[in-house]
Amino acid sequence: MSLTRFDFASLPVTPWRNGGGETREIACWPPGAQDFDWRASIATIAQDGPFSAFSGIDRSITLLEGDGVRLFSAGQIDHHLSQVGEPFAFSGDVALKATLLGGSSQDFNIMTRRGRLAARVQRVTTATRLPGQHAGVLYVLEGRWAVADGVTLVAAEGGWWAAGEHSGSLTPLTEESVILWADITPG
């Protein structure tokens, strides 16, 4: 197993150029690539404003905390991201306007290069087997989880791995445990 662990507090913070928030990058594959195959991050949206378009990229966003945000593009997308732990997938080609539904919003983001990879983000509450040949990202919302080889993750912690570098299972260790799993597969 080659799981790279992280916790929210230790992720590097990059302020947005427009001043509307910040991003904490979890991982980018291949590492450091501008033309990435996949990227995972946690963003804090602090004010209303544009949501960057990424041509050729498919995106998934999941509310982690806060009141949420409305993502809008006339005639294309009108989605209220207001339920913690419920993923929303959309094309990164669309330039959106983000409007806060209250205070700031914290979100789990997965991006994949269309035609190379695809991602399915799931809210997991029961024991689950992880496919050995897929890349993936985990982030604990609640409780404690056994990942493999004695690794335990708790709320605001997670892990990621490249394709073919991890296998095993997720096992909740406490009642009401919730983890997000981004299963990244060939596209």
pLDDT tens profile 143-160 = 999 997 789 999 999 999
Q: What is the pLDDT of residues 25-50, one digit of tens each?
A: 999 999 988 899 999 999 999 999 99
Q: What is the pLDDT of residue 1?
A: 47
User: Is pTM beyond 0.85 here?
Assistant: yes
Q: How confident is the model at residue 19 (pLDDT cuts 50, 70, 90)?
A: confident
What is the C-alpha to C-alpha distance for residues 155 and 167, in angstroms, rounded to an integer?
Answer: 21
Average pLDDT over residues 6-29: 94
How many whole angstroms separate alpha carbon 184 and alpha carbon 60?
Answer: 11
Q: Which pLDDT score, from 0 to 100, does residue 167 have?
A: 77
Chain-centroid distance of CA 38 in Å reads 11
